[in-house]
Amino acid sequence: MVQVCLIRVGAKLCRTPALQDRVWTALNSNLIKIIQYQTVRYDTLPLSPISRNRLNAVKRKILVLDLDETLIHSHHDGVLRPTVRPGTPPDFILKVVIDKHPVRFFVHKRPHVDFFLEVVSQWYELVVFTASMEIYGSAVADKLDNNRDVLKRRYYRQHCTLDLGSYIKDLSVVHSDLSSIVILDNSPGAYRSHPDNAIPIKSWFSDPSDTALLNLLPMLDALRFTSDVRSVLSRNLHQHRLW
Question: What does the DSSP 8-state code read for residue 59?
Answer: P
Give whole-number Cα distances, 92 to 45, 143, 168, in Å. 33, 8, 28
Q: Could you tell me which of 141, 157, 139, 136 has the C-alpha nearest to residue 65?
A: 141
Active-site pick, 68, 91, 145, 185: 68
Pairing mode of beta strands 125-129, 62-65:
parallel
Asked if 66 is an active-site residue, the reply is yes
* CA-wise closest residue to 88 among 39, 26, 140: 26
Which residues are 102's β-sheet partners? 97
Q: Is 142 a catalytic residue?
A: no
CB 197 within 8 A of CB 191: yes
List alpha helices for 122-183, DSSP H.
Answer: 134-145
Q: Which of 66, 142, 207, 221 is catalytic?
A: 66
Active site residues: 66, 68
